[in-house]
């Protein structure tokens, strides 16, 4: 039932279409209040990114929650991980984020956090979905929820971020370029690094409701790469629109992706006090990360794409570090969810501890060439029933040997099959990927 409304990371889509409408958000707020609100005394936090539609959906959710008898605390524009943190520390029963993350402003969505700052369990999402399908009934006037604004939310979160590296560490003497993507970190991230002593050059800090993620941030890092070189910065840090992803740029203007950042944090943790459990990546994590960790004696596990699956594996096996090439990095020994600012601080702490530069440490991960080809399908189908595809995959794996891998992955949002080939030789990788894609097209494509 929950999957009727919820995807793997909440609810997301184009504003005004499907479930991304004010009337649905009103009903969603009411349903969430019925399931999570716990009556008078139980409060739900609401935060958002900088999209123009956030005002509309904030009001609709507020009305629904109040009608269910649930008290609300409004946070205003705040990074997604900040809402997870504040949900825990303010002892709220749940947190709601209004954001479409790295998507353009025309999209928006909803994410929920539990009282512990985690994603909601499937059973709770299913309970909310069941309530959405029930008639909306307003509680008696005496039982309506009340709404207050949390005026010190930003300051609380800034102090928490700074507390995740040793108090003795200072960024004094370091020049850092910071790209906030005109998103939710615009009034948080520059101050975190400044208060720790860095000289900060900030871009993407003028949100107007429409420019979130537009040619800036972790999905469009070219502007930051140019800024680092032009300003002579020691490094650059790029966040996405809601602040749960981070990529970095070294002093020469080279992009450092999530896999490389995970390696830097893992190596530092290992050298300082040990690294419990395996590092967890996804099916899309570069083979170079796996090999680099192996050289350190660190295990590596892969999950399906999505931070939900990474977190589940970390909790199950007692690990503390995982993430994706896109820069969604989870440091479970610091916080309960993927957090771009906190991940960046762990990398900076690793640089200070080692005395080495970002470029030097990142170079220890020799990224393997990848080729990704999207093949449009007539319909989703079990590939194991297609002998020609199975044979082509086995042939590609034999050709690549131990230094490569093949992945055929259906898209979760479009009728596409993603054909990914990775290996040591770029020309071989491209040739193998093209051949595989041709076989898939012949067998399954429109």
Whole-model pTM? 0.92
Q: How far apart are CA 326 and CA 256, in angstroms?
A: 10
Residue 121 predicted with pLDDT over 90: no
Token pair recorded at residue 117: 């700052």
What is the pLDDT confidence band of residue 41, given thresholds at 50, 70 and 90? low
Among the residue ranges 26-35, 74-83, 173-182, 415-424, the one predicted with the least confidence is: 415-424
Tokens of 234: 């020691």
- State yes or no: is 101 an active-site residue: yes
pLDDT in the model for residue 446: 58
Q: Which of 101, 114, 268, 285 is catalytic?
A: 101
Residues 256-340+355-362, CATH architecture: 3-Layer(aba) Sandwich (3.40)
Give the pLDDT of residue 81.
97
Give me the residue label for tokens 């690294």.
Answer: 275
Fold topology of 157-254 = Alpha-D-Glucose-1,6-Bisphosphate; Chain A, domain 3 (3.40.120)
Contact (Cβ atoms closer than 8 angstroms) between residue 327 and residue 245: yes
370-444: same fold as 256-340+355-362? Answer: no
Superfamily assignment of 2-150 in CATH? Alpha-D-Glucose-1,6-Bisphosphate, subunit A, domain 3 (3.40.120.10)
Architecture of domain 370-444 in CATH? 2-Layer Sandwich (3.30)
Return the pLDDT at 274. Answer: 87
Q: Is the pLDDT of residue 287 over 60?
A: yes
Query: Which letter does DSSP use for residue 267 in this model?
Result: H
Residue that is written with structure tokens 């891998």 in the block: 405
**pLDDT (tens digit per residue) in 90-99:** 999 999 999 9
Mean pLDDT of 161-190: 97
Listed by start position, the domains of the chain span: 2-150, 157-254, 256-340+355-362, 370-444
pLDDT at 279 over 90: yes
The Cα–Cα gap between 140 and 147 comes to 16
pLDDT of 40 strictly over 70: no
- pLDDT of 1 above 50: no
Mean pLDDT throughout 60-78? Answer: 97
User: What stretches of 178-257 show up as alpha helix (H) in DSSP?
Assistant: 189-195, 222-231
Residue 403 banded pLDDT, cuts 50, 70, 90:
confident
Please tell me the distance from the alpha carbon of residue 292 to that of residue 299, in angstroms, as a whole number.
10
């Amino acid at each position: 039932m929950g999957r009727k409304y919820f995807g793997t990371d909440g609810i997301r889509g184009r504003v005004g279409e499907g479930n991304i409408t004010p009337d649905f958000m009103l009903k969603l707020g009411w349903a969430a209040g019925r399931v999570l609100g716990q009556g008078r005394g139980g409060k739900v936090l609401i935060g958002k990114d900088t999209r123009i539609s956030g005002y509309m959906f904030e009001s609709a959710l507020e009305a629904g929650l109040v009608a269910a008898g649930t008290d609300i605390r409004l946070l205003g524009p705040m990074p997604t991980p900040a809402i997870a943190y504040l949900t825990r520390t303010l002892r709220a029963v749940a947190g709601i984020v209004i954001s479409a993350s790295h998507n353009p402003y025309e999209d928006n969505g909803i994410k929920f956090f539990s009282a512990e700052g985690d994603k909601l369990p499937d059973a709770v999402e299913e309970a909310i979905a069941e309530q959405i399908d029930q008639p909306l009934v307003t509680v008696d006037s005496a039982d309506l929820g009340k709404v207050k604004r949390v005026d010190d939310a930003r300051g609380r979160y800034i102090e928490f971020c700074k507390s995740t590296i040793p108090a003795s560490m200072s960024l004094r003497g370091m020049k850092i370029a910071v790209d906030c993507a005109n998103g939710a970190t615009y009034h948080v991230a520059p101050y975190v690094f400044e208060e720790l002593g860095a000289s900060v050059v900030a871009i993407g800090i003028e949100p107007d409701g429409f420019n979130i993620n537009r040619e800036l941030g972790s999905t469009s890092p070219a502007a930051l790469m140019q800024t680092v070189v032009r300003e002579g910065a020691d490094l650059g840090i790029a966040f996405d629109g809601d602040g749960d992803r981070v990529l970095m740029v070294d002093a020469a203007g080279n992009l450092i992706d999530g896999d490389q950042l995970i390696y830097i944090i893992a190596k530092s943790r290992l050298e300082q006090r040990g690294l419990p459990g395996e590092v967890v990546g996804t099916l899309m994590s570069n083979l170079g990360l796996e090999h680099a960790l192996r050289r350190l004696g660190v295990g590596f596990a892969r999950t399906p794409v999505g931070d939900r699956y990474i977190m589940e594996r970390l909790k199950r096996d007692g690990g503390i570090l995982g993430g994706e090439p896109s820069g969604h990095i989870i440091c479970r020994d610091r916080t309960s969810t993927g957090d771009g600012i906190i991940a960046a601080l762990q990398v900076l702490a690793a640089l200070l501890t080692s005395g080495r530069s970002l470029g030097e440490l990142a170079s220890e991960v020799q990224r393997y060439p990848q080729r990704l080809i999207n093949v449009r399908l007539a319909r989703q189908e079990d590939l194991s029933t297609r002998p020609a595809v199975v044979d082509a995959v086995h042939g590609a794996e034999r050709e690549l040997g131990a230094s490569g891998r093949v992945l055929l992955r259906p898209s979760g949002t479009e009728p596409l099959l993603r054909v990914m080939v990775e290996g040591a030789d770029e020309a071989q990788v491209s040739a193998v990927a093209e051949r595989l894609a041709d076989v898939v097209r012949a067998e399954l494509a429109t």
